[in-house]
Amino acid sequence: MNSVRVLARWDTRAVLRDRWFVSAAAAFGALTLAAAALALASPPIAGLSSFDRITATLIHLTMLFAPLLGLTAGAGWIAGERETGALVTLLSQPLQRTELFAGKYLGVARALLAAMLVGFGTAGMLLAARVGTDRLPAFLWLVVLALVLAVASLSLGFLLSATAPNRSRALGAALLAWLVLVIVSDLGILGTALILRLPAPVVLVLAALNPVSAFRMAAILGVSGTAELLGPVGLYAGERLGPAGLMAALCAVLVFWAAGAYYAGRIRFTRVVET
Amino acid sequence: MIRLAGVTVAYGRRAILRGVDLEIPRGKRVAIVGPNGAGKTTLIRTLLALAPFSGTATIGGFDARREGPRARALVGYVPQTPSFPGTLTAAEVVALFQELRGLPADPLPLLRTVGLEDAADSAVRTLSGGMVRRLALAVARIGDPPVWLLDEPTSQLDAEGERLVLDWLDAAGQEGRTVLLATHQLDGLDGVVDRVVLLEAGRIIAAAELPALHARRWVEVVTVPPAPAGLPAAAQVLAASNGRLRLRVPEAVLAEAVRALGRRPLRIHEPRLEDLLRDPYRLLHEGDL
């Protein structure tokens, strides 16, 4: 366990010095702040409050950036060290492969969560200063969901990295996964539902299986307190499961992705042959 | 201290090691020599459980697979191509590996032993290949492990770095350290290893204690025919054609043979240690003449 802590501490330090990660995290922070400022400055639309406008913007930003940051940071990490040979030196030390995987995962996760908290923190402070703290719990819930989505994406990134021979191939797979999760998946479900006239429960399950969609639905549900904004499928789910049940199911999907991809990656990593 | 029994490594249909048996007692320094692709690196990686293998590999009695961390706790390893996280500094790398072995972080004394104290605060990605290898040597010394597994430890090193490695190997003998060293050529390692093992195409084809190897040392002498009458009996005529006379002369009678050849022009070719190991009676290639 001590090895896991040691690796996590040093890997966090190494990630926070990685130019790509720092650039992506800075871009997320800047965009979050800019989006919050713009949403506050724009006139009210269709009765939406400043808080609603900010959270709607943040939800969309998170859907783009949290998977991108998590997938690329995770995918590049182990594969990058495999490519340079640094992984072999670490594996020659008196520790289990599972400890190495866990330490590296925790190290990157800490850096990722810190970067996201900085981004959300600045937006949160702006929100508190301009709108007040009445809706702070809803905002904090959005932050928690965003962090869980980032961790789920990181797990997926580590799964891709576990056996990838080099950083570029792992990053390529990560970007493909990002494209599928963020863009292709929703369009695919939409098209399939229209063509095959899929029933609402099937559409709901298909959509909720995607962690990005699960995050979006959970965030909208958490911020608005109702499933009405989720459309007909959301209404159906709300009626069947109730808002709390739907929220629990969506959170379970996110946690499943975070834990499931982590363990799948760990299994693959323990079996891979370092050539 | 190190034991390999029937170790076979294969990637798909390609066999890298084929039933290797090797035992290195505590305090012995063994060099594995062989051409590129012979399986030297794989053999070392087998002991670290980095390569999938059948057979048995143990270090200090600990099974390399089932008791990997305990076996690896006894080992200081220098890989063939050392590499470390590029964004960490040299001092941070040593501190990381010290902490991984449960030791307090104190990198400077170790960096001093490899002449890297001035580069302590430099990021690994800015270090030269030779400096990274020196850093790997420092990391291999962490915790004063009783076993060293060194894969081409002198490659990329300058003369001073090479001297450092040879001094360490020399001292390892007195310290009772067990060393397994992989190299593609033995030049310079004479006197700092106790035993030489020749690996070719994944098989150990010859092994010898260094003193025994020296005892049968010979040189090849090229001069002009005919063979003189006073040539020592141990000297052997290999060929006499095209105006050249080639003799194999044991080192012990070389002076006597040279005296017998008188004022003739001659050239002396010294075989490499691995040539002696491979076949003490092997002829030098024509191109060497």
SS3 for chain A, per residue? Answer: CHHHHHHHHHHHHHHCCCHHHHHHHHHHHHHHHHHHHHHHHCCCCCCCCHHHHHHHHHHHHHHHHHHHHHHHHHHHHHHHHHHHCHHHHHHCCCCCHHHHHHHHHHHHHHHHHHHHHHHHHHHHHHHHHHCCCCCHHHHHHHHHHHHHHHHHHHHHHHHHHHHCCCHHHHHHHHHHHHHHHHHHHHHHHHHHHHHHCCCHHHHHHHHHHCHHHHHHHHHHHHHHCCCHHHHHHHHHHHHHHHHHHHHHHHHHHHHHHHHHHHHHHHHHHHHCCCC
Q: Is the dihedral of CA B241, B242, B247, B248 positive or negative?
A: negative
| Greater model confidence, B133 or A55 | B133
How far apart are the C-alpha atoms of B111 and B166, rounded to whole Å? 18
Give me the architecture of the B2-213 domain, per CATH. Answer: 3-Layer(aba) Sandwich (3.40)
Q: Do B11 and A85 touch (CB under 8 A)?
A: no
How far apart are the C-alpha atoms of A100 and B49, rounded to whole Å? 15
What pLDDT band is residue B288 in, cutting at 50, 70 and 90? Answer: very low
* Number of compact structural domains in chain A: 1
Residue B41 has pLDDT above 80, yes or no: yes
* Minimum mean pLDDT range among A102-116, A229-243, A247-261, B139-153: A229-243
β-sheet bridge partners, residue B236? B248
Backbone φ, ψ for residue A85 (5° rounding): 100, -5
Chain B within 8 Å of A48 (Cβ-Cβ)?
Answer: no
Residue B284 has pLDDT above 50, yes or no: no
The interface predicted TM-score of the complex, written ipTM, equals 0.83
* Minimum mean pLDDT range among A56-60, A254-258, B133-137: A56-60
Chain A within 8 Å of B54 (Cβ-Cβ)?
Answer: no
Which residue from B70, B82, B88 is facing A89, i.e. has the nearest CB? B82
Residue from B87, B101, B127, B149 whose CB has the most chain A CBs within 10 Å, to mutate: B87
Residue B255 has pLDDT above 90, yes or no: no
Query: Tell me: the pLDDT tens digits for A177-198?
Result: 999 998 887 777 777 777 877 7
Q: Is B56 helix (H, G, I), strand (E, B) or coil?
A: strand
> In this predicted structure, what is the pLDDT of residue B158?
84
How far apart are the C-alpha atoms of A23 and A90, rounded to whole Å? 27
Residues of B in contact with A89 (CB under 8 A): 77, 79, 82-84, 136, 139
Distance from CA of A30 to the nearest CA of B (A): 24
What pLDDT band is residue B286 in, cutting at 50, 70 and 90? Answer: very low
Domain of A15 in residue numbering reads as 2-271
Which residue from B70, B79, B100 is facing A85, i.e. has the nearest CB? B79
CATH 3.40.50.300 residue window(s) in chain B: 2-213
Distance from CA of B169 to the nearest CA of A (A): 20
What pLDDT band is residue B279 in, cutting at 50, 70 and 90? Answer: low
Residues of A in contact with B48 (CB under 8 A): 91-92
> In this predicted structure, what is the pLDDT of residue A202?
78
Give the pLDDT mean for A99-105: 95
Distance from CA of A69 to the nearest CA of B (A): 19
Q: Do B79 and A89 touch (CB under 8 A)?
A: yes
Q: Do A94 and B85 touch (CB under 8 A)?
A: no
> In this predicted structure, what is the pLDDT of residue A46?
60
Strand B203-209 and strand B218-223: the pairing is unpaired
How far apart are the C-alpha atoms of B28 and B173, rounded to whole Å? 7
Judge contact between A59 and A219, C-beta under 8 A.
yes
- Written as six digits, the tokens of A255 are 């946690």
Residue B200 has pLDDT above 80, yes or no: yes
Q: Do B45 and A274 touch (CB under 8 A)?
A: yes
What pLDDT band is residue A5 in, cutting at 50, 70 and 90? Answer: very high
> In this predicted structure, what is the pLDDT of residue B283?
38
How far apart are the C-alpha atoms of B182 and B153, rounded to whole Å? 8
Q: Do B69 and A14 touch (CB under 8 A)?
A: no
Query: Tell me: the pLDDT tens digits for A243-266?
Result: 888 889 889 999 999 999 999 999
Residues of B in contact with A94 (CB under 8 A): 68-70, 72-73, 100-101
How far apart are the C-alpha atoms of B263 and A61, rounded to whole Å? 90
Distance from CA of B50 to the nearest CA of A (A): 6
Judge contact between B196 and B274, C-beta under 8 A.
yes
- Written as six digits, the tokens of A164 are 């990838």
Distance from CA of A85 to the nearest CA of B (A): 5
Residues of A in contact with B11 (CB under 8 A): 273, 275
Residues 242-281 of B with CB under 8 A from A: none
> In this predicted structure, what is the pLDDT of residue A261?
95
Q: Do B73 and A94 touch (CB under 8 A)?
A: yes
Chain B within 8 Å of A3 (Cβ-Cβ)?
Answer: yes
